[in-house]
Structure 1
Amino acid sequence: MKTIEDMKRETELPVLMTDEQGFIVYVNEPFRQVFGWKNEEIIGQTLAAVIPNSFHDSHNLGFSRFVMTGNPTILSHPLQLKAVKKDGSEIDAEHFILAEENQGQWVFAATLRPLNQ
């Protein structure tokens, strides 16, 4: 089974990590190349920066529900979703999202494999 540490070592697929408030704390080089962000532009932004506007409410609801209950509904299996690049364009990507509790705080990581690129 993949872990968040495994994802941090990923060199082929874009990887994004957030804290339990949804602030981006890490992206890898493939993420920067595909999505067009520099570290200083994306680190500290909320996850909403890479989620299409039409999905913000459902994402916030699901994210909050998980942090409150610890019951996953979308973790640890591939999901085909859209993601937003720095230039505002949207791409289809296969997301694989993990969550791990670390010292009483949740950490989230995802690979975002672009589809049809």
Structure 2
Amino acid sequence: MATAGALLLTPAPVLADQTGHASWYGAESGNRTANGERFHPGGMTAAHRTLPFGTRVRVTVLSTGRSCTVRINDRGPFIRGRIIDLAQGAARACGISGVARVRLTILH
């Protein structure tokens, strides 16, 4: 049985595609992500504010059509207007070197 406190902390899943800005992060190497994993900057992982941990997401850069698939293992981004923070390796795979406008497609 879930407690009221646990219900308040559980993010509501987002099932529809999202469009917005993506950025990347990598300086947190070795720190723990929000789901307890050790952060690896070269990984194909990402932070999202509401998607459940383990969700696989296709990130498509709108200006180039280039895409990559990431697994959500952290929370963020915490900068207004951004919808996902990619680990540095995932950003490289998508061809993102700074901030880019992207479409997120939920795969699983």
For the criterion TM > 0.5, the same-fold answer is no
- TM-score, normalised to structure 2, is 0.29
Q: Which has the higher contact order (CA 8 A, sep 6+)?
A: 2
- TM-score, normalised to structure 1, is 0.27
Q: Which has the higher helix share?
A: 1
